[in-house]
Every structure is written in structure tokens, then in C-alpha cells.
Amino acid sequence: MSSSPADRTYAFGNWLIDCQRRELRHDNVTVPIGSRAFEILKKLAGSAGLLVTKDELIGSVWSGLAIEDNTLQVHISAVRKALGKDRDLLKTVSGRGYTLAGSWRSGHPDQSAAAMVSTPADSSFSSNLPNTRAPLIGREDCLSELAGLLSAYRAVTLVGPGGIGKTKLAIELARCVASTFDDSVALIELATLQDPALATSATARTLRLALNDKDVSAAGIAQAIGTRRLLLILDNCEHVIDAAAQIASAVLRYCPNVTVLATSREGLRIDGEYVATIPPLSVPRTDVRDPDLLLRESAVQLFVARTRASRAGFVPGAEDLSKIAAVCRRLDGIPLALEFAAARAANLGVDTVLLRLDRRFELLSSGRRDQLPRHQTLRATLDWSYDLLSPEEQRLLCWLAVAPAGFTLDAAIAMMDDVLSRADVIEILFNLVGKSLVSLDPSFEGRWRLLETTRAYALEKLAEAGFVEQAARRHAGFLRQLVAPLGGTSPASDEISRLAQEIGNVHAALDWAFAPGGDAALGIELTSGFVPVWMQLLSFVECSTRIEHALAHLSPELPCGPRLKAQLHVALGFALLNTTGTADRMKAALNIGLVLAEELSDLELQLKAVWTLWSYNLNSGQYDAAKDVGERYLAIALRTENPANETVGRRLIGAATHFYGAQEDARRELTLSLDHSAHGLTDGPNQMWFLLNQSVLAKAMLARVLLLQGKVAPSRSLAAECLQDAQREKDKLAIAYALRNAVCPIALMTHDLAGADQAISSLLELVTREGIAFWTSWTSCLKGQLLVLQSRHHEGVALLRSGLKARAENGWLMRNPEFLGTLAEGLLATGETAQALAAVENALNISRQGKQLWCLADLLRIKGEILLADTPLDLSRSELLFAEGLSVAREQQCRFYELKVAAAWARIMAGSDRQQTALDLVGPVSALFDREIDLPALAFARGLIASPGISVTTCAGDQPASCTCH
């Protein structure tokens, strides 16, 4: 009598596929395999080695269901895992399907295989899932993924910290897949057991197995279940983990139609187990404010739903939702904690809950009498997990709690180096991860963290044990050692992101160090060591605040020498240079630092101080002083052994000289600086936390010089090149400098309005994102200039005024004459002639007082045009100003402004029947510009040249000084 496909067996070597019992056996031992995976294996074995396509497999195993290829691949992997060392029997035919190698013989089932099964389960048992249910919020994707895992693996363990919702998820998952198990689902509740030995009897009792006392064992339970189809849920295994593992392992071995679903704070560690870590609910990012976006996050949804359940009609407004989002973040998206908080919010209000979260263990409890004792308060939930730890695990957990920003393996080892070996720390840390008390930080490889609630609990335990001071000191000492190799120098780019992760920990360490009972000396050293990191991250306000705090704790009793004091003062000066309204404090700090550095004969520290003073003078528009300080820097640089210092010195002199108005001298110094860069001599500045790519800065300044010398195309090209260099290096501050000093102004000066708009928008986005507050006034002025050029005069004037006001408050006058000149032009266009004249007069005064002479010629032109508009019949005053402007431009060899002034003057002449004189004025200078260059002044000059009856006077360039061509 032939057997039906459902009764057939397939045998090959030591393998047997028993379709009746739905078992895969190897050497007569049952191998765990999921139901879908078994169906795949049966289909392949029955195909006698022929190809089975993917569509055929899906149609056979998932009849009528639409699934994706990756679902099939998951179950194919499960088949290979079950085959173990013979996994290569299952062959993939690329793009088509699969075959099962070997001569699989079809036959009748071996009845003896059932000999091991003794007593069947009582048929009266079906399911004991609780009837009451609440909506499971935010777990839809998780349920779908877990359902797929249950069909691929015969043992799935849901792990996660207390309160994550493992039990609720397991029960809801069981409801979703119950039909697959003929609605036979057994929930074994282990939470109330005090003795692990009672786990087997509790399981047998729940399943209503008729077992003698001597048979109440894991193997006895498995034999009693036999071939029955069943989903066995072992809930809350962590405190009886060994007993639960024995039950699950026996069931997998002897019961081919049983799948085990376990919940635990750690995995069972048995063969065939898939450990699924349950994530917290999603919480909003800190920058999200939109109510609709906040309500999309599952943690917020749960909080609102549970609050509404206790307070009917609760409808949170936008402000409430922002506070609820903050609560959700503080509670790490843990459902149980959120439910506790929501219950309190229903009575006390969201404000009160948020304010009292620092005392969360007093605040958060369920108030429900049907909860397990360990779920009635937040503290009880954590007590349950903590009490299951060994003393060594408890110690490490508590000591790691002093690190609010997480920790690395090296940090954990350093914290325990006096009591535990490196190997012990690694093992204990991995145990804590496995027990869901420590989690891997997904945002940065090689870091771990404690959930905020777990950390708060561990800190309480640390305080109870009297180890807070010892742990905080050890942690601060580790951080000091971490930054000690920097030696006050800038970290390499690949170190920045790693060290940036420690900022929160440094905050905590410094707060402890400078508090009563702390260690101020350790705090001062840590502050000094971390300065380069703050600098690289552009955290200038934080840096200056921390340094001032450290300096306030300096005293003769502390072992901090003059070098450390000098370093802190110089660093404070640099940090204050990059913040707002701090000029007096900056200069005071730098003066102290420079005096100390000179007493110590510390040339590198002197260079830092002098460089910062140069930057201050440049930013405040004192270009004569900046030039002198730049020369002082170069003199010190030439005494050092680092050729890169000369590179910086040449650039400082070149930049100051450019704004001073000596363009050819500036070009020479900047070219020398770039020559050093080309020969690889620019590594040194990084050792001085200058932060800035010296090549980018030199190119940006040289691009400006080239424009003023009339070399428009090379200027544009070099500006684009320096921006690309900065972008390639992903150097945010260098990008900002390239945009501010070259790309934006050159686009504005050459009337490339589209390019200017794009560059200014990029600069504004960058300084806003990075929080470089004092640069906001720069972007306001640049945008105001653009608006004036776009004939949006009123908007431009308003923006220029606000930007100039902010710059005046901060003491920054750099390029203010240029901005004031554009403001005057905007005011003139709006008919406010008197105010326009006042603005340009102010610009001229600042220009002459601070030796900001680079744009003096253009300011004289602007004043001439304003006077012409005010008294159009009196040309004399305007022409005198134009003549002076032309003289200044020629003296500075500034062809760009020479062209603009000449065009303005020629326009008057052409309008007063002096066309030939006008042409003689503008023709020679316009001929110096490439024909493809398109500027408004060039367009006028070329139009004038093209006028009939006018000839152009040329100049070879070697005429006497009286020649008007020069």
C-alpha cells in the first residue's frame, strides 16, 4: 500500500524527513526546524533533485499569500541552519530557484520513531491567553517581523529591559499566529515563581499534563506533549533562566510540532534559538516642534492614549505635545514608564510630570491593583532586574552610571582596573548587555549606554554604597588621560567624532570636579585638555565658559603651574574672539597669556596669542595694527623650527596688507604663503588649534586681490577652488570663510547675482546650523548688499542697518566701510539723500581711521554720485571726488575700482558734451579687462567706445605720471 504525500518519508544518508510527524531527524535525533522551513525541505526532497523555482516554492508553502523574496530567503537560511554541516545539500540556482542534492529515497513512515513519546497531552487544553486586551500602540512593524521569525525558527526569545512590553507583545503575537497552531497556545507565567525548580511543575499544570511526580521534568513534559501542534510561551524567564532553557530545549528536541516563544531580559542560550531584541517606542527628535510630526511617534501616541484613558476628553495642544515629547525622551520610550507617567499626567498635568522626572522613582507608579508587584512602581521593575545580578555585575553597572553620555570598553576597564581584570570587565559588560541593562549605542560604533531611567537607578545604588566620589574621580581621571595625548593641539579629523561623543561626560566630570568635595586641580587639567576638542567643534561659548570657570578656581594651593595658566588664558582669548560682545574680556585674557608665554619663552604659545590679537585687529577694522601684529607674528615664527609658522605669518601680513590697500604687496605675501602650502609645509597650524585650512584662507584672500587688480576670471576661478578645497576636506569653518571672504563678495562685486544668492544662502544655512552666532551679522550685510543690487532697495537697507548695528555692538568693523557704502547707495535709490550722505561719510571716516583703504576709491565714487544727485547742476564737487578716487585706485594698482570710478566720471562727461574726454578716461582701463568679462562699468565703457565719431586714446603703460591712463 503506497503512502500519501502527507505520510511519506524521505531518507538520504543519516537524514530522515518524516512528513507525518513533521520531523527532520539526523542520526535518529530530531533537529529543530520551523514549519515553513520544513515545508520547503519537503517540497525540495519530493522533487527528486530537480529544480524548484522560487514561484513554485512560494505557491506551495505560502498558498494564496503575497510574500517578498526576502521572506523566502529567511526560511531558506533556516533550512540550511537545520542541515548544519550538510548545508551544502541545498543548492541555489542563481535567479531561478533551488535544488536539494542527494538521492532521497521515498518510503513509509518509521513507526518506531514514535516510541519515545509516551503519554499524550490532555485533549481538553486549547489556549489560555487572557481575554482582556488593550490596543498595542507602535508595535505593528514589530509584530509583522516577529510573525515571520516564528515561522522560520522554532524558538524565538523576546529580550529587552524591564517595562519594554515583552509580555504584551508576546501575547498579541500569539493571537496573530494562533491559527497556525490549530489555536493551541499555552502561556506559562513564570514571573511569580520563587524557586526555579517549580518551573517544570508550573508548565505541566498549565498544560494539564497527566504526569507522575517522577515524570515532572523537562524531558517528561516534552514526551507528554508528543506530536501535538502547540505554541508554548514561556513568559518572564530571567529569574528561572536555567529551568526555562531546559524546558525549551527538551521541547525542541522531542516535540516536532511545538514552537517556543519566550520573554526574558536575556536570551535562553539554547540551540536553534533566535534572540529578538525589542526596541523602545520611537520618540521625537529634539528639533521637532510640529504637532503632527510629534504625534507620528509611537511613544507620544501611547502617552496621549493612556492619559486620555484616565482623563476623558484630554486633547493636548502644541505646547503640551512638546512637553510630552520631552517626557518620552527622558523615559527612553519605555512603554511601562510612559504608562506610569501618563497616569500621573492625567491627575497632576504634563508640566508637573516633566518637572519632577528627576525624582521619577517617587513619581512613577501604576496605581493599578491588577499589575504584578514588580510592575506597580518603576523602582520595583528595576529592583527585579538588579537583584538578579552578581555583585560584580552590580558594581560595574553602578560605576558606569557616572557616564551620562555612554562609555567605551576602555572606559569600563579603566573604571574597574583596581578590582577586575580586563577579561572580567569584558565578560561582565557583555552579561549586562545580554540582560538588557546596558545597550549598544546605535549612533556610534564601540560605545554603550544605560537608559536614563536605569542610570538614575544605578546612581541611587552607587550613592547607597558610598562610592559616588570614588567613581566620579575615576571617570574624570580617565577623561583627562583620554585627551592628554593632544597636548593642547588639535585632534586629527578621524578623532573628532570619537572625542565629541565624550562632551556630555566631560560636562559631568567638570561639574563634579568644581563642586564642593570635588577635585579642582583635576577639573582644571581636564578643561585645558579638552580645549582643542571644543575648538574643533566650534563650541566657542561653551569653551570660554568652561575656561573661565576653571580660572576662577585657580589658587596658590593648587598644583597648576604658570604654563597651564598661560595656556588657559590664551585659549580663552581665542574662544572669546569667536563669540559676541566679548572684546574687552578677550584682550584682557590675551594680555595675561602673552606675558606668561614670554616669561616662559614658549614661542608656540606666543604665536597663538599673537595670531588671536591679529584676528581681533582685523575683525575690528584696525588694518594698520593688524599689519604690525602680522609682522610681529612672522618675526616669532622665523625663530621656531616649524616652517609652517612662516606660512601662517605670510598669510597674516598678506591679508592685512590687502585691506590696507597695497594690493601688489598683498599678492606677493599671499603667493609666498601658498608656495609653502604647495610644498607640504602647512601641517603645523593644526598643532596650534588655528582650526583653519591655511591654503583655503590664502586662496580666498588672493582671489580678492586678483579681482581688485582687474583679473576677474582668475579671481572667480580661485574663489571656486578654495571653496572646493574646503568642501573636499569637510572643514565647516573653512567653508564658511571661503564663502564669506571670497565667493560671496566676488559674486556681488562682479554682479553675478544668481551666484551671490546661492552662496549667501549656503553661508546662512551653515552658520545657523553650526551656531556661529557672531557670523549672523555678516550674512545679514551680505544679503542686504544683494537686495540693493536686485533693486529691492527698502529690504536691502533694512537688512544692512540691522547687520551693521549687530556688528557695532560686537565691536567688529571689518569691511563695514564697504557695507556702509552699499547702504548709502540703497538710501540714495530710495530718495533719502541726506541719510545716504551721512552713511558714506561714516564709511569714509572709518576707512581712514582704521586704514581700511582697499575700498576708499569706491567710497569716494559713491559720495560723488550722492552729491551729483543732490545738486545735479553743480558737477565740480563730484568731479573732485572722482578725481581723488581715481588717484587712490591708481596708487593702489586697483584696476577694478579704477574702472568703476572712471566710468562714473565718464558718464558725467558724456552727458556734458565731453565725449572724447570721457572716452580717453575710460577707454584705456577698460582695455585691461578680458573681452569675455561682463561688468556694468565695462558695458558702459564699451558702449561709449562704440559711439560714432569717437576715437580711443591708448597708452603703452610707460607714460609719465601725469598721464590720465594711470
- Residue 70, domain member (yes or no): yes
**268 and 341 fall within a common domain:** no
Q: Are 838 and 823 in contact (CB under 8 A)?
A: no
Burial of 437 (0-12, 13-18, 19+ CB in 10 A): buried
Which amino acid does the sequence have at 171? I
Within a domain: 3: no
**Residue that terminates a domain, selected from 349, 366, 381:** 381
Q: What is the pLDDT of residue 56?
A: 83
DSSP string, 276-328: EEPPPPP---TT---HHHHTTSHHHHHHHHHHHHHSTT----HHHHHHHHHHH
Measured CA to CA in angstroms, residue 841 lies from 827, 862, 952 at distances of 13, 10, 35
Domain membership of residue 659 (yes or no) is: yes
Residue 563 exposed, middle or buried by CB count within 10 Å (0-12, 13-18, 19+): middle
Residue 654 lies in a domain: yes
Specify whether the backbone of 812 is left (phi greater than 0), alpha (psi in -120 to 50) or beta.
beta
258-264 and 230-235: which strand pairing? parallel
Number of domains in the chain: 5
Query: What is the residue range of 629's domain?
Result: 602-690
Same domain, 85 and 175: no
Q: Are residues 267 and 304 in the same domain?
A: no
> Is residue 951 a part of any domain in this protein?
yes
The CATH number of the domain where 23 resides is what?
A: 1.10.10.10
Task: Give the helix/strand (H/E) hosting 933.
Answer: none
User: What gap in Å lies between CA 44 and CA 91, rounded to an integer?
Assistant: 10
The set of residues, in sequence order, having a beta carbon less than 8 Å from that of 163 and lying 6+ positions away, is: 334, 335, 336, 337, 375, 378, 381
HSE of 284, CA atoms in CB hemisphere, 13 A:
24
Domain final residue, candidates 277, 299, 317: 277
E strand or H helix that includes residue 882: helix 876-891
Distance (Å, whole) CA 831 – CA 840: 15
Cα–Cα distance, 369 to 375 (Å, whole number): 10
Residues 80 and 150 placed together within one structural domain of the fold: no
Residues 270 and 168 in one domain: yes
264 and 295 together in one domain: no
Sign of CA dihedral 420, 426, 431, 437: positive
Residues β-bridged to residue 12:
15
Residues 273 and 298 in one domain: no
Whether residues 258 and 296 share a domain: the answer is: no
Backbone dihedral angles phi then psi of residue 53, each to the nearest 5 degrees:
-70, 165
Specify the CATH number for the domain of residue 153: 3.40.50.300
pTM above 0.75, yes or no: no
User: Coil, strand, or helix at residue 127?
Assistant: strand
Of 71, 96, 114, the last residue of a domain is 114
**Three cell numbers written together for 347:** 491627575
Radius of gyration of the chain (CA): 39
Q: Is 862 within a domain?
A: no
CB 434 within 8 A of CB 267: yes
User: Does one domain contain both 238 and 325?
Assistant: no
If asked whether residues 271 and 146 sit together in one domain, one would say yes
Residue 794 falls within a domain, yes or no? no
- Please check whether residue 621 lies inside any domain of the structure: yes
* Same-domain status, 250 and 307: no
Count CB-CB contacts under 10 A for residue 521.
17
pLDDT at 521: 94
Q: Is residue 875 within 8 Å of residue 868, measured between CB atoms? A: yes
Do 156 and 268 share a structural domain? yes
Average pLDDT for runs of 10 along the chain of length 966: 63 84 81 87 82 83 73 86 86 80 71 36 65 79 91 94 91 91 90 84 87 80 91 94 96 94 94 94 91 92 88 87 92 87 85 82 55 59 86 95 94 92 94 90 87 89 94 96 80 78 95 94 94 86 94 83 92 86 84 94 93 89 90 94 88 95 95 77 45 85 97 96 92 90 96 96 90 80 97 97 87 86 97 96 92 94 94 86 96 95 90 82 88 87 74 39 33
Residue at grid coordinates 581621571: 477
Q: Find out whether 923 and 953 touch, Cβ atoms under 8 Å.
A: yes
Euclidean distance between CA atoms 745 and 244, whole angstroms: 72
User: Are the CB atoms for 527 and 550 separated by under 8 Å?
Assistant: yes
